[in-house]
Chains A and B, each alone.
Chain A
């Protein structure tokens, strides 16, 4: 049942797939992000307690949710690489790592910017904040391990092991931190005091979430294409691609 997937283990096919997917992902990203952001920032009703500052959720929540999903996606890619010995899977994993780290940082930064006026502090050792910070550390570990190896094939495998160790640990870390926090501090400031969010506030959030996902996909395809071209420089098809790209310049020089 997975046979249709296997051709994409070849770098050339994966490269072609990226080229096919890329415009669609960009269209989706631009469309969703512009609708969701404009709707959320300009037209959604004000929060009766937080006023306009609640609007940061349209950036904060999608990046926080997707920072975790991206890590899981990375671990799945690592597992696929390990099971089927796909080089492209490791390349995809490492293409996603810096994107995920950036999302985690965005989530932490927007959270801090929102926390200052709302909680009166840039940083609180709240369970969610802490586990997001540890997620950032896990991303940094994977990226650092990948960077430490000269041989990128080996680097991919090593970083894959670490990504899998991390993904086994994420739930443990999440629950331990939550438990630690409730043990040490009395009242936890919960993010949504009212669990149900008004639909006219929710829709732009969902659209932005989708837009962020498209955007991550689009950036991943770009990074994966770069990775493939860099790693496969010696392959005839990459050289042909480079020739083709350079051809207009060459004829102009003549």
Chain B
């Protein structure tokens, strides 16, 4: 157990040493959201209409940038190989790494979300729904994304490929998350959508660690 704690502490420690890498995806998120009022329309009604979708699309895009960091440094300095050879349960190691990555990459997104909601003129009810979908949905992004990151970590040019692999897989999450916020805007219950996102999260939490472990083994060849 202490081994996994060690990995967790090490990952957190390294992440806070590389502050620029943590902040850049967040700034990207903020800037993408800023483009929509400029490009579509600054009228409050329009912004409220497109807001949930814009925030979620921007979150997915910025998560693709943040995701690359997940295994890259460990792959390059060889510690990933050591994890594979160490005899530790690789699914558990990858879960620990995904959790640490989620804490440093997505919790800041949650903290930034009130600002985004304000920019796009979301009502308070809509914001609550948005926050709930983000809390349930971003771990799902991390878990599924980690599979593709594990596969592409050994490639020189993984960036665009990662997006190609992941965007189609994230579509259901986008649909349910935005529809939950839309329901909240109409004062309708949005528990069904949240329940479905939670179900997808549980499914991913059960299966993804094994897929991540397998994909890391494939990358190590």
Q: B195 interface residue, CB < 8 Å from A?
A: no
Q: A173 interface residue, CB < 8 Å from B?
A: yes
Is A138 touching B168 in the complex (CB atoms < 8 A)? Answer: yes
Is A161 touching B215 in the complex (CB atoms < 8 A)? Answer: yes
Is B211 touching A161 in the complex (CB atoms < 8 A)? Answer: yes
Is B207 touching A173 in the complex (CB atoms < 8 A)? Answer: no
Size category of the B interface is 20 to 34
The chain A residue sitting closest to B156, CB to CB, is A148
A16 CB, nearest partner CB in chain B, Å: 29
Contact residues in A for B215 (Cβ distance below 8 Å): 158, 161
Contact residues in A for B148 (Cβ distance below 8 Å): 162, 165
Is A169 touching B179 in the complex (CB atoms < 8 A)? Answer: no
Per-residue CB contact flags for chain A residues 125-163 toward chain B (1 = under 8 Å, else 0) read 000000000100110110011001101001001100110
Chain A residues 101-129 with CB under 8 Å of chain B are none
A165 to B212, CA, bound (A): 11
A161 to B148, CA, bound (A): 9
Is A177 touching B175 in the complex (CB atoms < 8 A)? Answer: yes
Size category of the A interface is 20 to 34
Chain B residues 134-173 with CB under 8 Å of chain A are 144, 147-148, 151-152, 155, 157-158, 161, 164-165, 167-169, 171-172
Chain B binding surface SS class: helix
Contact residues in A for B171 (Cβ distance below 8 Å): 134, 173, 176-177
A203 to B200, CA, bound (A): 41
Chain A residues 28-46 with CB under 8 Å of chain B are none
A137 CB, nearest partner CB in chain B, Å: 4
Contact residues in A for B161 (Cβ distance below 8 Å): 144-145, 148
The chain A residue sitting closest to B179, CB to CB, is A183
Contact residues in B for A242 (Cβ distance below 8 Å): none
Is B175 touching A140 in the complex (CB atoms < 8 A)? Answer: no
Is A161 touching B172 in the complex (CB atoms < 8 A)? Answer: no
- For the complex of A and B, 7 pairs with smallest distance between CB atoms: A176-B172, A137-B168, A180-B175, A141-B165, A157-B218, A158-B151, A176-B175
Can you give 6 A-B contacts (C-beta < 8 A)?
A: A82-B214, A158-B215, A158-B219, A164-B211, A172-B200, A177-B172
